[in-house]
């Protein structure tokens, strides 16, 4: 009798194990490549769970947080939104001289870099400004080459020929192929005094309006290169508190309280998210993009294709272009994350999140890559169609006629 009961128990156990294996076909792969102590969650396009290790445990998502910030931006602003910086003459222009300050009226464009400054310089010269009797006077949040420049000192150094000569050559090659245009022939001269708000403000006349690349280009490049200026940029829409609110309201099937965001770029120590929440976040972002007739690859890097943090990952021909996602690292905490979508023939769009901690970062990335290769082999990689490389970001900016 005991022998029969033992056989029955063994049969039930084997059947249960078989059913469990059928429900989670990538569970063994996750355990083998990532490790049972780390977080993994994978869901097929049909909704079927393919792997789940510690999937509800909170981990630090590192720069995967930037996906939440991307979702928040697209929830509040249109994809073609541009951020404008207006350059004004606080005085008359005559004989090549601006008799007064050059005012920079900024609204926080985070993508105003050396090439953008040189495009504005060329436009100012076209408007007849060769010399500024006064100084540069900044109004509003002005970021130049990823750094706050509240008094315009770095911008002045560029326009006087002291910085970024190589960027000048890049701009000239793009706008005037074959032309010989030495920077020294186009620099501005400024007066010696520092800019001060006048007691009685003089009327300011707009000279040039610089409109940044569209929001979509900001998001794509910030995610591809994991630019931590995303945190400062997030204040355009209310900061990390608003990013957290929008993400909590957008995800389904996970406890809202398990999502904590106090840094919109993923830096710091307090952000939290479970692998299940990360997968739900990607699904919410895909849905939001779909409503705007856009795709995840419009705002996130394609592994093995796009320059940046995923350029060299899954770059072998059989895998290249089959994963869109976001990686993250907090070196001091030994945290490494990778999440996104793998495109497969068998499982369709396969959402995944892998979160490790306490493992050397190079080892963690190798494990993540191995797991993704196994997933793509099991599902049959289905790379996205190739796209032409976009133009340089400064070429997607616009110089608009002042109103």
pLDDT in tens, 299-337: 999 999 999 999 999 999 999 999 999 999 999 889 999
Q: What is the pLDDT of residue 22?
A: 52
Domains of the chain: 26-78+217-379 (3.40.710.10), 84-212 (3.50.80.20)
- Per-residue pLDDT tens over the stretch 44-85: 999 999 999 999 999 999 999 999 999 999 999 999 999 999
- Per-residue pLDDT tens over the stretch 208-225: 999 999 999 999 999 999
Mean pLDDT calculated for residue range 360-389: 96
CA distance linking residue 258 with residue 277, whole number of Å: 8
309 close to 225: Cβ distance less than 8 angstroms: yes
* pTM for the model: 0.89
Question: What's the token pair of residue 310?
Answer: 């995923």
Statement: residue 179 has pLDDT above 50:
yes
């Amino acid at each position: 009798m005991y022998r029969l009961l033992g056989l029955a128990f063994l049969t039930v156990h084997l059947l249960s194990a078989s059913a469990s294996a059928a429900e989670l076909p990538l569970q063994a792969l996750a355990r083998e490549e990532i490790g049972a102590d780390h977080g993994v969650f994978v869901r097929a396009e049909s909704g079927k769970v393919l792997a789940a290790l510690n999937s509800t445990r909170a981990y630090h998502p590192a720069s995967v947080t930037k996906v939440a910030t991307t979702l928040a931006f697209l929830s509040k602003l249109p994809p073609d939104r541009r951020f404008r910086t207006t350059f004004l003459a606080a005085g008359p222009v005559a004989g090549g001289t601006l008799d007064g300050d050059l005012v920079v009226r900024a609204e926080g464009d985070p993508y105003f870099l050396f090439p953008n400054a040189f495009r504005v310089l060329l436009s100012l010269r076209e408007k007849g400004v060769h010399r500024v009797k006064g100084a540069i006077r900044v109004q509003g949040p002005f970021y130049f080459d990823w750094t706050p420049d509240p008094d315009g000192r770095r911008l002045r150094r560029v326009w006087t020929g002291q910085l970024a000569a190589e960027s000048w050559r890049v701009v000239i090659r793009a706008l005037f192929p074959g032309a010989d245009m030495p920077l020294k022939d186009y620099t501005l001269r400024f007066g010696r005094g520092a800019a001060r708000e006048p007691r009685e403000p003089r009327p300011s006349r707009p000279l040039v309006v610089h409109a940044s690349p569209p929001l979509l280009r900001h998001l794509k490049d910030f995610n591809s290169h994991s630019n931590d200026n995303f945190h400062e940029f997030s204040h355009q829409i209310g900061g990390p508190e608003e990013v957290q609110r929008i993400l909590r309201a957008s995800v389904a099937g996970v406890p809202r309280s398990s999502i904590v965001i106090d840094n919109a770029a993923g830096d710091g120590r307090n952000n939290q998210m479970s692998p299940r929440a990360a997968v739900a976040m990607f699904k919410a972002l895909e849905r939001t993009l779909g409503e705007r007739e856009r795709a995840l690859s419009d705002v996130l890097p394609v592994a093995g294709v796009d320059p940046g943090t995923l350029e060299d990952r899954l770059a072998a021909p059989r895998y290249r272009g089959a994963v869109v996602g976001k990686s993250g690292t907090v070196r001091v905490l030994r945290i490494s994350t990778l999440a996104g979508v793998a495109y497969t023939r068998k499982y369709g769009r396969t959402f995944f999140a892998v979160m490790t901690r306490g493992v050397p970062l190079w080892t963690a990335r190798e494990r993540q890559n191995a797991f993704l290769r196994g997933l793509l082999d099991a599902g049959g990689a289905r790379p996205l169609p190739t796209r032409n490389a976009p133009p340089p970001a400064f070429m997607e900016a616009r110089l608009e006629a002042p109103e």
